[in-house]
Each structure stands twice: as structure tokens, then as C-alpha cells.
Structure 1
Amino acid sequence: FVLYEYVYRKNGFAFPATDCGIPGCAVLCEYPYGNNPNPTSRFVHVVGIGFKQKKVQLLSDITGAFRPGILTALMGVSGAGKTTLMDVLSGRKTGGIIEGEIRIGGYLKVQDAYARVSGYCEQTDIHTPHLTVEESLIYSAWLRLPSYIDSETKASFINEVLETIELDEIKDSIVGIAGVNGLSTEQRKRLTIAVELVANPSIMFMDEPTTGLDARAAAIVMRAVKNVVETGRTVVCTIHQPSIHIFEAFDELILMKTGGRIIYSGPLGQNSSRVIQYFQNIPGVPKIKDKYNPATWMLDVTSKSAEAQTSIDFADVYETSTLYKENIELVKQLSSPPPDSKELEFPTRFPQNGWEQFKACLWKQHLSYWRSPSYNLARFFFFSVSSVIFGILFWQRGTKINNQQDLFNALGVMYSALFFFGINSCSSILPFISIQRTVMYREMFAGMYSSWAYSFAQVIIEIPYLLGVALLYVMITYPMIGFYWSAYKVLWSFYTMFCSLLCFTYLGMMIVSLTPNTPVAFIMASSSYSVLNLFSGFYMPR
């Protein structure tokens, strides 16, 4: 595919203009077959015990062009390879065998550089729930725009994006959790587009932007998409059975059949006239009814059952058509580097240096923690109540140390408190970090920051809160239990509780990073408590 890069000069900065060519792209994937023999576009190569391996070709000889200022639709029945093709073009498909060429400006694509000038809007809208709409854009622009752009230019660009995507009226609204609170589904879709657009990409890929929306919401989202196209960017959307109004908002169409082959690639025309004329000129294809949805009609007449009835292979028909030859010539023209052009490259892997990445991540973590009373306020309340209960249960036990048994009782009090509050800290952070992990995956793939910058910010932000709850525990329990009063011993008691809470909290973070989902994380955490208890040194063998 040939991808032109949009050069944005209004705010005084631009990326090199490029194009990308992919003649004859093909994807071959292995999957285990048994009870469920149907491969999916997002399948990862897994060797299953007791399953045979079978190779399936998901894409076959894909050749075409995407151009700037043109909204292109990728359509096809389920399993046709729409999302697979988009993942290959964006660099997200890494499993299986990928053949063919991807060229940018006539040069072979380098993924690190390509990721800096392209945006990918996933079908699932993944955002930090505790930020506002404007803060989400500020954060994305902070990490994805080049470091030489000053803050005033960034602010101006963010405001322009808010207006383009029609989010300026709700810019101070909290994003929230999907299906629970915050923005509506349609507003989240537009925010997903805005978060990518604020990075000033030349090319934007959108995976079914209208899925799950009613007619009104879908129209609003498509209006925002058209606004993006009008800025001169190249926009490609996968779409599944759109309405007439949504379908006719596109400029060009790439229609695919099962097996990953193209059966049409070209302009839609006024009221879809070009694509309708193309298929109606094929002998045996029924005419479209008046006021019938052209998208639905095309999917019906080119379905697998329709091909079997008419004995027509629409992919073969397309490959012998004049339209196919025109597309081949277009790809040949645009796949050669323009005169005096240079290959797209950047001096650094990330737009910002490590310190800026850390500051941005810490800023986001600070807002997320400060606006999470269900996590932070709840644990302060829990520590307050639990500390009072501990003080009542072990009232003045520290003043009654007259023999070895009394000493072990006092030791048991400290051990019980450390382990009890530690388990609570570990268990509390598991669901909180799990929510942020999905956001982190999206942001890291977009090349916003390194894992070290994010992890260090996540570790640092916990320290002031754990200092607070550790201090709260010592202030309540130390006088109630009646331990010996001296600054040295009080500080050691505080230090011990603080370090224990740090260890348990960071254990929870590590468990979340090692497990696929929250339920598994809780199971693994429960097992680790027993191991820590056994090796804590409190239970000594006789």
C-alpha cells in the first residue's frame, strides 16, 4: 500500500513527506485446529498439546494505495482479513509469516520511525480513567510531539484538535471507566481519535470506529473522522456493515473476501455509483434495489454462498479488470523515491528523553492517585480503623514484658501488624494496577515512553501515600500498645512498617505484570502470602 505522509505546517513544525508501498503483501499463519478450526485475525502462534498444526493464509497478494486527504474504508465479511491487513500495515502483526514489501517514500519501512508518524485507533477505547479529556491530550502531546516544540505551540495544537474532534465543550470532563461512569461510548471514540491526532500523525488507522454506536453517535464520530481527513491526513478505517450515510462518507473502498483477497479497490463515486457500476457490469450479479444500502448489497452479492451460486470468483474478476491494472501502475509510480528525497528517520527512539518521559508519567500517576478515593482514601480509613482495633486488642501489652513469653507476645503483635497490613496493601493495589496496565500497553506500542520511565514513576508515586499510612499506624498503635517511648525506637517502628508496606505493594505490582488478568493475579498473590509467611523468620523450627 502506498501511504502519503501529511505535512502539518500551521504550527511551525512538520514531518518529512513520505509514501509507503506494499506490493504483493501476504500473511501465512499457523494455528492448532481441533474443536474450533476458525482462525482469527488477531491469532498468536500457540503450540497446543494434543493439537495438530495447520497453516492458513490470511492475506494473499494485497496491492493498492492510500492517499492523503482521502478517507478509505476496508470492508469484507468476518474473517476476510480486514484487521489483519491493518495490523500488518501499522506494524502490529508480528506472528506468522509476513511476505511482501512495505515502503515509505520509496524506502523500506523502518517500524521505529514509522510508529512516530502513524496513529492507530483501536476498536476498544482504552484511556486513563482518572484524567480529563484535555489532560489526556496534554499527556499524549507531551510524550509524542518532538522536544523542540515549545509549550505554547503544543497548547495551541491541543486546542485545535479539541475543536476538530468537537471535544472542546467536554474538555474538563473526567474520562471514567467504560460502562460505569464518565464519557459516553461515542465520546470515548472521539477521544481515542483525538489522542492519536494530537501526536500529529501523517497516517491514521481506525479499527471499526462506529462499532457499538447508534445511528446518531456513529454520525458524530464519522463527522469527526471527516474533519481529520480534511486536514490532509491519510485515514484508513475498517468498517463492518455501515449504514448508507456512514458508507457514503468514505471516498475510496477496499473490499476483501474470505481468504484475504481483494475484490475491489477504488473510488466509491457519487452515491456509491462507481462501485455499484463495477459490480453490476459483472455478468450474473443481480442489480441493486432502489434505496437499498450499497454496502449491504455488495457484501450479499460477493458472499461465499453467492459465489458458489453464480460460479464467480470476484478476486479473479478484479485481477483481470482495468481497475486492477490502474492500481498496479499507481503503486509503481508512488513506490519510487521522489527526487532529492531522504529516508524517514529520527535521531532518537522516543520523541522525549528519559527525564521528560519520567516527569510525564509521574504527572499522570499523581492525578490518577489523587482522584482515586476508592483506593487511597479507603486505605487511609482502613489503616485508621484497623490500627485502633490492634491497639484495643493489645492494649498496653508493651508495658508488661516480664519474661520471655511476654517478649514473644510483643514480637507477635509487631509481626501480626506487619503481615496483616502488608497483605491489605498488596491486595488493594492489584485491581488498581490492572486497570492501568491495558493503558500502558497501548501507550508503549505508540512509542510514548520506555518501560523504565513508566515503572519508576509507578514506584515513586506510592511512596508518599505509604509514608502517610505508616505514620498513621505508628501514631495510633504505639501509645495504645505501650511500647517503650524513645525517638530511636519510634523511628525504627515507623521504618519497619514503611519498608514492609513498600515490599508488599511492589510485590502486588510485580504480580500484576507477570499475570494475564486480575483473577490470576489474586490467586498468585494468595499463594505468595503463604510462602512469605513461612520464610519470614517468625516461625522457627524446634
Structure 2
Amino acid sequence: MLVELLRREKNAGIKPDEDLDVFMKALALEGRQTSLVAEYVMKILGLDICADTIVGDEMIKGISGGQKKRLTTGELLVGSARVLFMDEISTGLDSATTYQIIKYLRDSTHALDGTTIISLLQPAPETYELFDDVILISEGQIVYQGPREYAADFFAAMGFRCPERKNVADFLQEVLSKKDQQQYWCQYDYPYQFVSVTKFAEAFKTFVIGKRLHDDLDRPYNRKHNHPAALSTSNYGVKRLEILKSNFQWQRLLMKRNSFIYVFKFIQLLLVALITMTVFFRATMHHDSVDDGIIYLGALYFAIVMILFNGFTEVSMLVAKLPVLYKHRDLHFYPPWAYTLPSWLLSIPTSLIESGMWTLVTYYVVGYDPQFTRFLGQFLLLFFLHQTSLALFRVMASLGRNMIVANTFGSFALLVVMILGGFIITKESIPVWWIWGYWISPMMYAQNAISVNEFHGHSWSKPFADQNITLGEAVLTGYGLFKEKYWFWIGVGALLGYTIVLNALFTLFLTILNPIGNMQAVVSKDAIRNKDSRRSDRVALELRSYLHSNSLNGLKLKEQKGMVLPFQPLSMCFKNINYYVDVPEELKKQGIAEDRLQLLVDVTGAFRPGVLTALVGVSGAGKTTLMDVLAGRKTGGLIEGSISISGYPKNQETFTRISGYCEQNDVHSPCLTVIESLLYSACLRLPSHVNDDTQRAFVEEVMELVELNPLSGALVGLPGVNGLSTEQRKRLTIAVELVANPSIVFMDEPTSGLDARSAAIVMRTVRNIVNTGRTIVCTIHQPSIDIFESFDELLFMKRGGQLIYAGPLGSKSRNLVEFFQFQGCLKSGMAIILLHGCWMSRVHKWSRFLEWILLNTIDSRNYFYQRNRRGLEQTEQ
């Protein structure tokens, strides 16, 4: 019943009250294992719509970037922590979602008497006002720490005033910048002089808030006011048994999701077993001489090698999981043993299947001793050998911690174990200084045990010549193997011991080792000195470009200092774009009867040369999906509608030559430096007539534009592990596309992960590029009013892939204000104060506006709709 209710609410566009929704789910979930807290947090974070969608990564399609950020936040909120440190949690989120998350954090912090510290980039005004205190830090010094209400007063006392239409949070960041500080000077009777961060920090100590803070810190703390939860007696939130149970279920689910890998391994082993069965077919195998026994020894050795080698895939699978494991370990989600123990136990069925499959297929066909106890003995040996193999390669992966290093360690360990196993080189032939390797090789014990199991069977019990030994014993002795029967159990015990010891080492390495590499980029002192010495009035070097007289704004070719790379300004028009994907089985089980899910609904618009277009909407509105469809990056699903480039139908093969696409989460080679990455992109994508010197000069200009010059020699590294930070990687992604000198550029959230000043620099760069006649379209979240009004046109989408507004913004968003006033959704005074990018993502959630959207989103009689159609027709001409 609850599923049906949720389906009807979604179809009707009804958003229920959060508390009532949680109460209804609590009744429905009573007696089930699903956590009510998890359901509530998912609802608050807006993750309920993708609750059954896999997370994905750069190579696997999953949830959106904004949803990943909310998922990271939700991982901590579902716990019992009362002190939260949250770093840039709003990156990639729309302002409405960010506001909702911060409001929830504020309410929970107040209600539960907790402590929450959050660093934000470009917070919206309404979000900024939710905070109680503000810590403003620059160049490693605290400039202000105290109540939010008095932050602007402190800078006013220093002679700097926040303008009326300026976001206070942006003002606080820019007033400390040498490049932006002068515009806020308000004491016109005195000449402006740059106030350094050090001077601000010293002045704060004499400010009333600073004095109060100093007095509070000097006053001895009264221990009677200690919070009951201040002294924690446990490192983890739940009992050990619950931790173990949760990890067991988690890893079982991961095995189920990765079932393709395990099925593929089973099929691979089965095919090899079938080939082995035909090579060592019993019709050609005999039990009459020592030479016959050597052939059987080769068959047994090959079986051991295959079982041992089949565990090598554990290296790559574990290395891929290590970042998550280190994160969970450092956040005290669970101890390492709580991961290693379930992984060991869950690998037992895999070992049973693989060893049983090999034994069943090959044993009787090859012609091993027919006694059933010998069959069980071989199966038992191969099972423990496979367990040892998995544990060995887990150790190599946890020790290497890098795919290349771990594979090298694993290959070397496999080589040593095989060579010193007693078959390739017999015991008597191994040098004295390597004999210790023979005794510690797991393969030696497996080889001896499985050989003793076979050659003490009835098939090999006939006397050998005149000696007082059997043929089987003669084979063992002749090849330097032990002939005593008890070596079977020695081998079983040794392999079991290796499994236990190696899994213990695996646990130890997960406990004491950290990810390889430095967690941040290294910047030289000279680069910092050069950055600080830049003149305040010097703006980043502008991108040189070729201006055509036939561009949209009638731009004329100008003589500019530096390099000029010509290009052809192009426009893009799209009409009635619809995009459908197949409905997953999980959604069908929840009550969705349709076979296809429509993600874009009759989207029509145009991107013009010399016009900067913003694509705005809440998370899940379909902004990135629309850009992917227009850029030709969607390979699945059904696309309807028409797309034209400057009046001609789009040809994807040639379109990629004149377009660029900056992804929200891009992939870069981690072993290259910044300048090497850009030079590589320029070399492959610029025309062949551009010589090397021109390429390098152009790359250096682009690096200066996005302020990557100080990091030109820094390694890119892996995200979240080492190398460049999120902000630096974002700028590198933009630069990689700009060095291709494209005519049309798609940017998916270019300012996500950047602070206000860095975002402004990027948008000034984009503005410079647009002014040359290029066509630029950007999806954007939480823009400040300055950034929002730097755009020329706007495409505003709502959740469900429908277009609300498409057209020019006008001066101070005048056209957009008129549009909403025309619909009766906005008062004039409210429009002047609130209408900018931050409010745009929230306004459609108001009940009156939401009602209008549901009824009148697409109205062909609308004046603004007609104006958009006329502009589209003019662009196509």
C-alpha cells in the first residue's frame, strides 16, 4: 500500500511533509531490518528517488555527482556522532538541497547539543544565514571567529562595506583578496591602501568579538559543565557482533553485484578443466612405470598451478576497494578485522565451487586412483590451496595498495612459490642459500600432499622391481618428494596454517598502512612568492582568439597582443528533444508499469555564438542528461527530436572536432604533470599546421587563465588520494578542453568545488572566451548573483526533464523577473531582492509556483514561449 501511495504522490507531483512521510514509513517498516534513521536521512537529502540506484564511478553509470556528495554526507548523518567536520559538502548541489541539508544539520545540532563545523564554497545567502558562528581563515590565519551577525561589522570598522546586492559570504572571501579588495573600500575621505591578512588578524584581536573570544579562552573550563557524551568509551557506534553482521551482509551484497566476475572465473576454470581432461585422457594414461607416474605428477602440478593462479584476481578486486576501506577505517565505521573475517568466510563457497568443479571434471577422466577417499583427498587439498591463494594475494594487494605495485608483488610471489615448490626444481637441485624458500613455499606442501594422496592409492600399489617399495613410492622418491603417508595431513595442516597467518597479515596491513602518496599537491616556495607578488590590478592573461565579423554581436577583428588561433563561430539549435531509457526491474517492482522512463520532455532551445547560456535546475532535473544528448554522449536509450549546427543537421563524427565537453568528474592520467596533460591534449586536438612553439604558448595562456601556472609541474594524481585537490582538478578539466580551441563548449558545473573568488575567475575566463564568438553552455549550481548575472541566457529546468524558461536574462535578470511576474508567481519587491541563481532553484518548490508549473509548463500561447521560438528560428537561418 505504501508503494502505491508513493507512486501516486509522484505522478501527482505531491511532496508530502517530511515528518508525516517518515511516520508512515515507520509504520510500514515495523519489524523489518530497514533503518528508520536511514529512511529519514535519505528523505532529507533527497536520495529517496535514487535509493535503489548503484553509486557508480567514472567508468560505471550511477547516481549524479550531486547525489554522490549527498550520499557522503548521509553516511555520517545516519550515525550517532555528535561532532561533525564536513568539508565542502555543497559541491555539486543546487541551493535548495544545500539549504535543506544545512537546515537539518542546524536543527539536529541544536536539538542534540552537538557540534558541527562545515566548510562551504559559494554558500547562498539563505544558507549562510543558517549558521550561528563563522570562522574566516586565509593564509593560515584566523581573520574572524564569532557570531555571523557581526562579521560584516568587523570589516566595516576596517573601512570595507558589503554592497547591497552582494552576498555577504562572497564579500567575506573577496575582501581578503589583493585583487578584489579595493572595490569594497568605503572610507572615501582616506586613500585606499591594501590591508593584508596579517593586519586583519591583528585588528580582530582588538575587536569586541575578538576580545570576548580571548577572555573565554583564558578562563579555566568548569568541568561541572562536561557533556555526558564527551568521554567516549568505545571506538565504534555498535557492538562487535552487530559490526560483524553488517559487514557480512555488505560484502555478500557486493559479491552478488559482482557476480559476473565470479561466474566468469567459474567458466574460465571449467574450460581449462575440459581442456586438461582431453590432454590427460585416461585412454592414454597408464600406471605401469615411473615414467607414467611422472606424467601424472605433471597433471597434478598443472591442477595446483591453475587453482593457485585463479586467486590472482583478488589483487585487482581488493585494490579497487581499498579507498573505501581506508575511508571507513579512518571514520571508525568498523575495525579492519570486521572486513577481513567476512571476506574470508564468504570466499569459502567460492573455493568449494572452484576446487569441486576442477576435481569433478578431471579426476576420473584423467584416470587418477579410483578410490573415493582419494577423490575427497584431492578435493580437500585443492580447496585449502585455493584459500591460501586468496589470502596470499589479499596480502599482496594490502601491502602494495596500488594496482601496479600490487600486481608486481603478486606476480613475484607467484613466481617464487612456483619455482620453489619442488616440481620445476626438485629439492636436491635447489641451491643451499635458497632451500629456506622451499620450506616456506605453500606449493611445496600442496605438491607433496596431493602426490602422496595419489601415489599411495591402489593403482600404484604394485611392487617396483626387486625393491621393497611400491611403484607409487618409487615415483615419489625418484622426483624428490616425500613418500610418507602422513605428509598428506602435513600438507593440509600447512595450507590451513598459511590461510590463517596470511589473513592475519592482511588484517594487520589494513590496520597499520595508509594509502600511498601525499594527500595534497606540492607547490614550490617560488610559486607562492610569485603568486603573492602579482600586481593587484593585473587580471589573468586573456585568451587570444580570432573574432569574426559575422558573429552574433557583430564583433570585429581586433589586433590583440599574443597568439591568434582562428575558428568558425557556430550555433546549436534543438527542437522537441525527448529522451527515454528502459525502466530498471527494481523500479518495476515498486509499481511503475511503463517500460520506458522519460528523462527529457519536449525540450527546445538554442545556443548562440558570443552568448553565454546557463542551464539551471535542481539535482535530477536533467541538466547533464540534456547536455549529454546534445553533445552525442548518450549511447543508450531512445532520442527524439532534431539538432542542427548553424542550420545543418548535426553529424556526430565531425561535431566532436569542433566541440569540447568539461565533465563534472573528469578522468586524468595520474602520472602526468599539469602542463604535460595540457600539452598532450593540445598536440592531439589542435590542427596540424599549429607548430610546437605556438602550441606551448597557447597552453601557457590557458594555464594562466585558470591560474594553473603555479601547479604546472605538479602531478595530477588520483582524486581523494594524492596529487591535485578537487578545485585544482576542476580547473585542469576546463583547461584540457580549452587548449583544443573549440567553437562550442559544454561545461558541466564548472564552478562546483571552487570558492567564490576561484569561481569568479573561472567565469571571467569563460566570459572572455564567449566574447571571442564561441558558443558556451554551462550547467551551474548555487551561483552567486555576480556569476548568475554574467550569463546572457538561461534554460531553467524542473525535475522530470521539463523546460520552465528559455530565453535572455536581461540586465539584472529583468526578463526573468518579468516572466515570473507575468505568471503571478512573484511580487515586484521580492523579485528585486531575491531573483538570482540561488533563489532560482528554490522558487519552483513554492506551492503556488509549483501549481503553475504542473499546469502551464509548456504553453504555446505564452508571450515568452513565442519569443523563444522566434529567436530559435532566427538562429537557424
* TM-score (structure 2 length as normaliser): 0.41
Distance change in 2, residues 1:297/1:479 (3 Å): same
Counterpart of 1:53? none
Aligned to 1:523: 408
> Any residues of structure 2 matched to 1:386-465 within 5 Å, and which?
386-396=272-282, 399-426=285-312, 428-465=313-350
Is 1:498 paired with 2:383?
Answer: yes
- 1:256 corresponds, among 121, 132, 137, to 137
Deviations for 1:23-73, whole angstroms, at most 9, x for unmatched residues?
Answer: xxxxxxxxxxxxxxxxxxxxxxxxxxxxxxxxxxxxxxxxxxxxxxxxxxx
**Counterpart AA for 1:473:** W
Q: Secondary structure at the match of 1:375?
A: helix
Is residue 2:194 matched to residue 1:310?
yes
With over 3 angstroms needed to count, the CA separation of the structure-2 counterparts of 1:228 and 1:413, relative to structure 1, is same
Q: Structure with the greater relative contact order (CA < 8 A, sep ≥ 6): 1 or 2?
A: 1
Task: Note if contact 1:174-1:182 (Cα within 8 Å) is conserved in structure 2.
Answer: yes
Q: CA deviation at 1:431?
A: 1.9
Q: Does 1:473 align with 2:368?
A: no
Distance in 2 between the 1:453 and 1:340 partners?
A: 33
| Distance in 2 between residues matched to 1:242 and 1:321, nearest whole Å | 25
CA shift in 2, pair 1:366/1:282, >3 Å: same
2:152 to 255, 276, 283: 276
Alpha carbons of 1:367 and 1:398: their partners in 2 closer, same or farther (altered >3 Å)?
A: farther
Please, which of 319, 339, 362 is the counterpart of residue 205 of structure 2?
A: 319
Q: What is the match of residue 741 of structure 2?
A: none
Contact 2:106/2:131 (8 A) holds in 1: no
Q: Secondary structure at the match of 2:230?
A: coil
Q: CA deviation at 1:327?
A: 2.5
SS of the equivalent of 1:327 reads helix
Q: Deviations over 1:210-265 (max 9, x none)?
A: 23x1x63x54244223222222343211223445565455443211121x221012
CA contact (8 A) 2:285 2:292 kept: no
Any idea what the Cα deviations from partners look like across 1:398-452, whole Å, max 9, x if unmatched?
A: 73233222211211122122213322312x1112212332222222233333332
Q: Tell me the CA shift for residue 519 of structure 1.
A: 1.6
1:285-307: CA deviation from partner (whole Å, max 9, x where unpaired): 4x445534443433332136769
Rg (Cα) greater in structure: 2
Match of 2:222 in 1: 336
Equivalent residue number for residue 90 of structure 2: 210
**Residue of structure 1 aligned with 2:395, choices 498, 505, 510:** 510
Match among 245, 267, 272 for residue 359 of structure 1: 245
- The answer as to 2:202 corresponding to 1:299 is no
Equivalent in the alignment of 1:4:
none
Give yes or no for contact 1:186–1:221 (8 Å, CA) kept in 2: no
Letter in 1 for 2:194: T
Offset of 1:348 from its aligned partner? Answer: 4.4
- Structure 2 CA distance for aligned equivalents of residues 433 and 255 of structure 1: 41
> Sequence identity of aligned pairs in percent?
23
Q: Is 1:188 aligned with 2:68? A: yes
Instruction: Provide the rounded CA distance (Å) in 2 between the counterparts of 1:208 and 1:198.
Output: 19
Give the SS at the match of 2:311. Answer: helix
Answer yes or no: is the 8 Å Cα contact 2:99–2:126 preserved in 1: no
Letter of the 1:223 counterpart:
Q
Contact 2:329 2:336 in 1 (8 A): yes
The verdict on how the C-alpha distance between 1:529 and 1:230 changes in structure 2, with shifts beyond 3 A counting, is: same
CA distance in 1, matches of 2:333, 2:344: 19
Cα 1:334–1:436 shift into 2, 3 Å = farther
179 and 190 in structure 1: CA distance in 2 versus 1, 3 angstrom threshold = farther
1:334/1:370 CA distance change after superposition, 3 Å: farther
Question: 5+ unaligned residues in a row in structure 2: which ranges?
Answer: 1-29, 183-191, 430-877
> Residue 234 of structure 1 aligns with which residue?
115
Deviations 1:103-162 (A, max 9, x none): xxxxxxxxxxxxxxxxxxxxxxxxxxxxxxxxxxxxxxxxxxxxxxx9879833333323
Q: Which amino acid aligns with 2:406?
A: A
1-structure distance, mates of 2:245, 2:130: 41
Q: Which amino acid aligns with 2:151?
A: V
User: How much does 1:328 deviate?
Assistant: 3.1
Change (3 A) 1:475 1:225: farther
CA distance in 2, matches of 1:252, 1:379: 56
Q: List gaps (5 residues or longer) in structure 1.
A: 1-149
Contact 2:143 2:204 (C-alpha < 8 Å) held by counterparts: yes
RMSD across aligned positions (CA) = 3.0
When residues 180 and 244 of structure 1 are mapped into structure 2, their CA distance, relative to the original with a 3 A threshold, is: farther
Query: Is the 2:98–2:127 Cα contact (8 Å) retained in structure 1?
Result: no
C-alpha distance 224-179 of structure 1, shift in aligned 2 (>3 A): farther
What is the distance in 2 between the residues matched to 1:332 and 1:321?
A: 16
Residue 268 (structure 1) shift: 3.2
Partner in structure 1 of residue 268 of structure 2: 382
Distance 1:341 1:467, change over 3 A: closer
1:90-109 paired onto structure 2 within 5 Å: none
* Structure-2 residue corresponding to 1:155: 35
> In the alignment, which residue of structure 2 is the partner of 1:126?
none
Distance in 2 (CA, whole Å) between partners of 1:229 and 1:334 is 28
- CA separation of 1:340 and 1:442: change in aligned 2, threshold 3 A: closer
Q: How many Å apart are 1:193 and its aligned residue?
A: 1.7
CA distance in 2, matches of 1:220, 1:341: 32
Distance 1:398 1:165 in 2: 68
Measure, in 2, the Cα distance between the counterparts of 1:529 and 1:346.
45
| Aligned-partner residue type, residue 158 of structure 2 | I
The one-letter code sitting in structure 2 at the alignment partner of 1:363 is Q
Corresponding residue number in structure 1 for 2:259: 373
The amino acid across from 2:414 in the alignment is Y
Q: Secondary structure at the match of 1:253?
A: strand
SS in 2 for 1:422: helix
| Number of residue equivalences | 382
Letter in 2 for 1:182: G
Asked if structure 2 preserves the Cα contact closer than 8 Å seen for 1:254 and 1:266, the reply is yes
1:357 shift after superposition:
2.6
Residues in 2 aligned to 1:180 and 1:334: alpha-carbon distance in whole angstroms: 55
Query: SS where residue 259 of structure 2 aligns?
Result: coil
1:537 equivalent to 2:422? Answer yes
Distance 1:239 1:176 in 2: 25
Q: Is the 8 A contact 2:319 2:403 kept in 1?
A: yes
The whole-number CA distance in structure 2 between the counterparts of 1:292 and 1:477 is 77
Q: Distance in 1 between matches of 2:227 and 2:350?
A: 53
Query: Conserved in 1, the CA contact under 8 Å of 2:84 and 2:117?
Result: yes
Cα–Cα, structure 1 residues 322 and 376, in superposed 2: closer, same or farther, change >3 Å?
same
Question: What is the distance in 2 between the residues matched to 1:527 and 1:500?
Answer: 18
Q: Which whole-Å CA distance do the structure 2 matches of 1:519 and 1:340 have between them? A: 50
2:473 aligned residue: none
Cα pair 1:173 1:183 within 8 Å, conserved:
yes
Q: 1:340 to 1:280 in 2, by over 3 A?
A: closer
Q: Conserved in 2, the CA contact under 8 Å of 1:365 and 1:457?
A: yes
Question: 8 Å contact 1:429–1:505 — kept in the other structure?
Answer: yes
SS at match of 2:85: strand
